[in-house]
Amino acid sequence: MKKIEVVAGVIFCKDEVLCVQRPKNKFHYISEKFEFPGGKIEEGEIKEEALHRELLEELNLSTKIESFFLTIIHEYPDFELTMHSFICEVDSKELTLHEHIDKKWLRIYELSSLDWAAADIPIVNKLISNG
C-alpha cells in the first residue's frame, strides 16, 4: 500500500479555527470533505518548513507555528496517510483559496458540524476534548 506523509495546520485566529473543504475527487472518501490545510513533505524538508510552504502555496497564508499537536496514521482504501498536525496562529483571516472550494472559521465546539476527512477526525476530537 502506498504511504504518504503530510503536515497539517490547526490554524487559530483568536478563538476560531480554519477549516477548508477539498474539491471533488476521484476518491469519494475524501471528495468535498473538510480538512485542516497542509500537504506533503518534500525531500529534505523538516515538517515545519513543509507546513509553511504548503500554507503559502494553498492559501497565501503565513502562520506562526506554535507547537506540535498530534500525529495520525490512517489507512484509506488506496493509501496509508501519516499526518503530523501543528497548532498555528494568524492575526488575520485573510487568505486566498488556491486548491480548496470553501473555508470556514469555526469555534472548537462547532467543528463537529462539518463533514471531515476521516484522517482529520482524531484532530477534531482532541480539540473538542481539550476544550
**Structural domain count of the chain:** 1
Beta bridge partners of 3: 80
99: which 3 cell numbers? 486548491
pLDDT confidence bin for 51, thresholds 50/70/90: very high
In this predicted structure, the answer to whether residue 131 has a pLDDT above a threshold of 80 is no
Residue range of the domain that includes 30: 2-130
Q: In this predicted model, what pLDDT tens digit does every residue of 58-81 receive, in sequence order?
A: 999 999 999 999 999 999 998 999
Report pTM: 0.95
Residue 9 sits in a domain of what CATH number? 3.90.79.10
Residue in the block written with cell 515545519 = 48
CA-to-CA dists, residue 84 to 13, 69, 95, 101, angstroms: 20, 8, 22, 23
Average pLDDT over residues 47-60: 97
Average pLDDT over residues 106-131: 96
Q: What is the pLDDT of residue 19?
A: 98
Q: What is the pLDDT of residue 27?
A: 83
Q: In this predicted model, what pLDDT tens digit does every residue of 90-101 receive, in sequence order?
A: 999 999 999 999
Cβ neighbours of residue 6 closer than 8 Å, sequence gap 6 or more: 38, 39, 40, 41, 81, 82, 83, 84
Average pLDDT over residues 6-13: 98
| H or E stretch covering 7 | strand 2-13
